[in-house]
Structure 1
């Protein structure tokens, strides 16, 4: 369990799972595995009927977003984003890390009506991957760099969540959504009960699980993407029980849910066509993730350092901003989900967008490894000579 709570191993496992999914899809067994992922599994007596792939992306991934939202709640109330002064610098850098990739994407793919709908895809940062690279290559980096990156990635998560909630809702049923929100309120109330005795505690926890599953079901049926239910539940939970639940779920998320999602999302057959025949969406994502992120985060981050008010965190050096920008280009988990949502109606375009995410994130992974290693070595030398 300790291994699955570390920063290095889950990132390696996630990368290996995606690579395995891409490999399996392009082996002779690939068509059978893809067909299996499209098999439907319904809940008897309910309208819920999802393919196995959607059970992973709409069901299991909601648990991941619950954990993200619990951490987000902590950071907004007690952590690195708990005041305007703390959040100002990473928020400005994060704005660059969203706006510049969108601009790069639209510059490349904006002329294609089918491709341009994927502009949200390169805006995400995979915090697990980014922190994993820091853990592997960043020994000696100042804590300010890690704190800056953590806050930056959390703000990126907020942006990704907003995009999922606002852009990809379809045929919304406000009545069912209201029931889902009502159940989230019930979940929040239950999380604030302090039961006396082990038996009562078990009953309360069981009720919370039932209410959470029901809330997820109503949000799913309302037309809002089901992962938003996980976000609402995580934000609504009382901080103590929420953090305990996140801690208990972390090994399952890192060791099961995320690798399974990465494998399922990467089940993409590589098109046997000339590069010129590939969709502009692939090239736009491939460039916007590593290049758009590093340019946007570095330039806006440098601006934030120049205008920062008194009392904010120490300035992050320009080369360290480059490292943070490169790490921000590792989109992966949320970018894969956004690619699936943006191109849900066109399987071929979706697959090419996923290849763009995998390729762009890999380029960012290599770039960040090189830059972070160089900066860590520099800081170790400075520390040794002082």
Structure 2
């Protein structure tokens, strides 16, 4: 396997950097540095001549994170057309497992923090534990999974991609507010212009076309942000329509920036929450629901639904994975982090107290899943290495 000379293109270093950034944000939020940094993150920056007037924190979550979703969308399109999800036979098994990894955490969350539990005010957080952070999951797999068959990584990658699709749908549908359809329609027109320019760039290769694409991309982002649809959806639309060759170059060019700057900055800002000085019993049900639903809901849902999927494999599907490998994939799927942090911010945007506790739930739940997956993956990889050694 070829190893990139740039650690920001790898799998392990970006995951460690993301964890450190989140830890630093949480630490500084609970030190005397809190007030100064909170004022900085609440400082508003307006774009002259437009209605865009966002705080620094929102420029990070709505602006910088749109670039991350642009890269995600490029990867999604590649996997759906030329990768691990380019046929029904390849997609059906991870799709069923992904469904379990979404439905079971939702059920677990609602049992603890939904109307049935007498906590209707926290029910809106049910999308939070549905996400899988592919950067973290693959990073843990790279650190502890030496000896695991490649099928485990392929299955996990496909499952996480499907999770990303569901997360994008949640962001687009559930968290749009007071949508101004005229502005959104103009954004779609701008995306269509971007699509045409990307194909012209592929054919002509002139640098001025690339500049025009960048300008149109920024305009489309501004229109989506002003329309009431979450601004990151602009990045998704642009990534999905870009011509394949320019898209590949853009992804390659942006990957170090996304891994080394955008995601750590977002993790720092998202994790900048004050740990409440209360007893565990006084914590919000949203906190406990996420802490349970991420590590437990994901591992149960992915393992059981994945096992069922392996029993009904269509012709041409990849070989069935042993149940123990599915458990390892399920544990890795419980590392929600990036998209879960965004979903927590969106789900409880109107209640800062519950939002902060939901974010703490994401951090704690993801850390539990990270530790659990590290142990399970290490044990499983060790078993495969012993089998290989005995056979040689």
Pick the TM interval, shorter chain: over 0.9
Segments of structure 1 that go 5 or more residues without pairing to the other structure are: none
Q: What's the RMSD between the two structures over aligned residues?
A: 1.0
* Equivalent in 8, 33, 38 of residue 37 of structure 2: 33
Change (3 A) 1:212 1:280: same
TM-score computed with the length of structure 1 as normaliser: 0.98
Q: Verify: 1:208 aligned to 2:213, yes or no.
A: yes
**Deviation string for 1:75-98 (max 9, x for gaps)?**
000100001100000000000000
> Does the aligned pair in 2 maintain the 1:10–1:254 contact within 8 Å?
yes
| SS, match of residue 50 in structure 1 | strand
Residue matched to 2:348: 343
Corresponding position of 1:255: 260
Q: Mark the CA change 1:194 to 1:30 in structure 2 (over 3 Å): closer, same or farther.
A: closer
CA distance in structure 1 between the aligned counterparts of 2:151 and 2:32, rounded to whole angstroms: 49
Equivalent residue, structure 2, for 1:180: 187
CA distance in 2, matches of 1:309, 1:202: 46
Partner SS, residue 289 of structure 1: helix
Q: Which residue of 2 aligns with 1:8?
A: 12
Q: Which residue does the alignment assign to 1:287?
A: 292
Which secondary structure state, in structure 1, belongs to the residue aligned with residue 119 of structure 2?
coil
Contact 1:124 1:334 in 2 (8 A): yes
Task: Pick one of 218, 228, 234 that aligns with 1:229.
Answer: 234
Contact 1:126 1:333 in 2 (8 A): yes
**Runs of 4 or more above 4 Å deviation:** 194-197
Aligned mates of 1:38, 1:134 — CA distance in 2: 37
Distance, in Å, in 1 between the alignment partners of 2:350 and 2:384 is 49
> Whole-Å Cα distance in 1 between the matches of residues 180 and 203 of structure 2?
39
Query: C-alpha separation between the residues in 2 aligned to 1:57 and 1:30?
Result: 19
How big is the shift at 1:123? 0.1
Secondary structure at the counterpart of residue 206 of structure 2: helix
Whether 1:268 aligns to 2:273 is yes
Residues 195 and 204, structure 1, Cα contact 8 Å, conserved in 2: no
Number of residue pairs the alignment of both structures matches:
384
CA distance in 1, matches of 2:202, 2:217: 19
1:149: which partner in 2? 156
Distance in 2 (alpha carbons) for counterparts of 1:253 and 1:76: 22
* Larger displacement relative to structure 2 (248-257 or 28-37): 28-37
Q: CA deviation at 1:310?
A: 2.0
TM-score (structure 2 length as normaliser):
0.97
> Is 1:309–2:332 an aligned residue pair?
no
Distance 1:187 1:257 in 2: 23
**Structure 2 residue 112 is matched with structure 1 residue 98:** no
Work out whether 1:166 is the aligned partner of 2:170: no
